[in-house]
Amino acid sequence: MLHPFPTKYVKELLKDVKTIIDVEANYTGQLGTLFKQNLGRDVDYFILKFTGRSMNCTEVYDSLKKILENKAEKREILTHGA
């Protein structure tokens, strides 16, 4: 449940996390906005798909790999099947 946002709980979950990656099926990355509003912390990377098709594990894996190799854009846009 995101409203009311569980700020205390999420802060506890993320207390030792260095990188936050927001994986969403929309253009704007709305969850990342909620993180910033409620946690005071920006999401480091977005993996987004807004073609109306579902994400597949290969394209998510490829984006995560690029992030780990420091070769990714802040917003990785998935387009497979578009």
**Cα(first)–Cα(last) distance of the chain, in Å?**
30
Asked if pLDDT for residue 1 goes beyond 80, the answer is: no
In the block, residue with structure tokens 């490829």: 62
pTM of the model: 0.90
- pLDDT (0 to 100) of residue 2: 87
Summarize pLDDT for 7-30 with one digit per residue, the tens: 999 999 999 999 999 999 999 999
Which amino acid, 75? R
Helical ranges in the chain per DSSP H: 7-13, 30-39, 57-68
| Burial of 9: CB neighbours in 10 Å, binned 0-12, 13-18, 19+ | exposed
Summarize pLDDT for 58-79 with one digit per residue, the tens: 999 999 999 999 999 999 999 9
- pLDDT (0 to 100) of residue 57: 96
In degrees to the nearest 10, what's the CA dihedral of 66, 68, 69, 70?
90
